[in-house]
């Protein structure tokens, strides 16, 4: 079976750019990758950072879905621990009503920000992350009519309710997320770009432990990987310099705008920082089209998935767009004709 390719977009703010630029580039990238033949486009949720503009994926989904025609648009993901399951259900039921059969609801457990920001996100709530599984059950019940974990909520109605609910996915980078996705019978997306070490083990556990549900009868998973594709290996390596410094800054808790390759090359790395930067590049697929194509196909086979989500961040938007174009060409994706 041919490999399905999709996109995860973290709406990066580049050095010298603005959050407005980042959102405009998100819309342009979605439109371009739709035409190139990518299957779905997910928008991430991050808080309290000057480096990523996407703090509210449900808002961005509405914008991106309006600017595209047929591509599936979704969250990668909504950090459900912060929110009321009913409000999330209403948001995504409304999105699915507005854009029928095109909306994905990806759910995550991570805070998406630092500890203080997390406290602020959950202002006034005494419901901690330990209630995350309960929230998943209730959210699913609101969208599909199944039984909620809290039986007192059984009469709650989500309006408008679309004829077909949005497609629910559980996202994660740990064994806990794999266990929950398997237990609840939900599709599962593993964030290899966050945790490359645990990817194979957790996807295998998910497939082996999967329990059929009213949503899904067989396990369904994808793998989200970092990739940078350029015309030559040398150019891809140059673009990836930014990724290395970005990782160093992340470890320092200073996730500011995405640096240029020149800024990354000029940075005075300590020996430990240089090792961190080099390691970050080794966890992504970086190279020319044949190299990236072979890497994506190899990883799909090793991890037992038929869909790969690609997250590409370059300082230069044209280089970022070109990366997706080269990948689409390498896989000979069937291009869509703009309506």
The SS3 of residue 200 is: helix
Number of domains the chain is built from = 1
Domain hosting residue 55, numbered range? 4-228+288-330
Alpha-carbon span 240 to 46, nearest angstrom: 22
The SS3 of residue 63 is: helix
User: What pLDDT is attached to residue 49?
Assistant: 87
Alpha-carbon span 265 to 268, nearest angstrom: 8
Give the CATH number, domain containing residue 153.
3.20.20.30
- 269 part of a folded domain: no
- 267 part of a folded domain: no
- 308 part of a folded domain: yes
User: What pLDDT is attached to residue 273?
Assistant: 95
- 338 part of a folded domain: no
- 97 part of a folded domain: yes
Specify the pTM: 0.94
Q: Of the candidates 26, 32, 39, which has an alpha carbon nearest to the alpha carbon of residue 333?
A: 39
- 273 part of a folded domain: no
- 89 part of a folded domain: yes
Cα separations in angstroms, 213 against 77, 115, 138, 140, 220: 21, 35, 15, 11, 12
User: What pLDDT is attached to residue 114?
Assistant: 62
In whole angstroms, what separates CA 203 from the centre of its chain?
Answer: 16
Residue pair 95/166 in contact (Cβ under 8 Å)? The answer is yes
Alpha-carbon span 11 to 327, nearest angstrom: 20
- 292 part of a folded domain: yes
pLDDT along the chain (339 residues), means of 10: 93 97 98 98 92 96 98 95 92 98 93 62 60 92 92 91 96 94 97 92 97 96 98 98 94 89 97 93 94 98 97 98 98 81
Cα separations in angstroms, 5 against 43, 122, 204: 15, 35, 20
Tell me the two tokens of residue 67. Answer: 């600017």
Instruction: Tell me the H-state helices in the chain.
Output: 19-36, 57-67, 85-98, 115-121, 132-144, 175-184, 199-209, 233-251, 261-266, 271-282, 289-303, 317-330
């Amino acid at each position: 079976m041919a490999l399905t390719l999709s996109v995860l977009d973290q709406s990066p703010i580049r050095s010298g750019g603005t959050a407005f630029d980042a959102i405009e580039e998100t819309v342009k990238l979605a439109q371009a990758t739709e035409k190139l033949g990518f299957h779905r486009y997910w928008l991430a949720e991050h808080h309290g950072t000057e480096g990523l503009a996407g703090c509210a994926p449900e808002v961005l989904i509405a914008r991106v879905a309006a600017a595209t025609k047929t591509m599936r648009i979704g969250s990668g993901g909504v950090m459900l621990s912060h929110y009321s399951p009913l409000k999330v259900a209403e948001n995504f039921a409304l999105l699915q009503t507005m854009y029928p059969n095109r909306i994905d609801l990806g759910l995550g457990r991570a805070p998406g920000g630092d500890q203080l920001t997390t406290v602020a996100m959950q202002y006034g709530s005494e419901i901690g992350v330990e209630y995350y599984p309960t929230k998943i059950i209730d959210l699913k019940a609101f969208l599909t009519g199944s039984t909620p974990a809290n039986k007192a909520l059984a009469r709650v109605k989500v309006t408008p309710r679309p004829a077909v609910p949005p497609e629910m996915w559980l996202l994660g980078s740990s064994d806990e997320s794999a266990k929950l996705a398997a237990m609840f019978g939900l599709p599962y997306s593993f964030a290899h770009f966050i945790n490359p070490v645990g990817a194979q083990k957790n996807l295998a556990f998910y497939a082996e432990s999967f329990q059929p549900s009213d949503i899904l009868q067989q396990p369904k998973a994808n793998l989200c990987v970092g990739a940078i594709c350029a015309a030559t290996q040398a150019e891809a390596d140059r673009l990836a310099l930014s990724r290395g410094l970005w990782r160093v800054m992340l470890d320092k808790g200073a996730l500011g705008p995405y640096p240029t390759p020149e800024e990354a090359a000029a940075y005075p790395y300590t020996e430990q920082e240089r090792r961190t930067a080099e390691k970050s590049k080794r966890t992504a697929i970086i190279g020319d089209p044949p190299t990236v194509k072979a890497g994506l196909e190899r990883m799909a086979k090793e991890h037992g998935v038929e869909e790969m989500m690609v997250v590409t961040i370059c300082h230069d938007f044209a280089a970022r767009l070109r990366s997706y174009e080269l990948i689409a060409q390498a896989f000979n994706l069937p291009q869509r004709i703009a309506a």
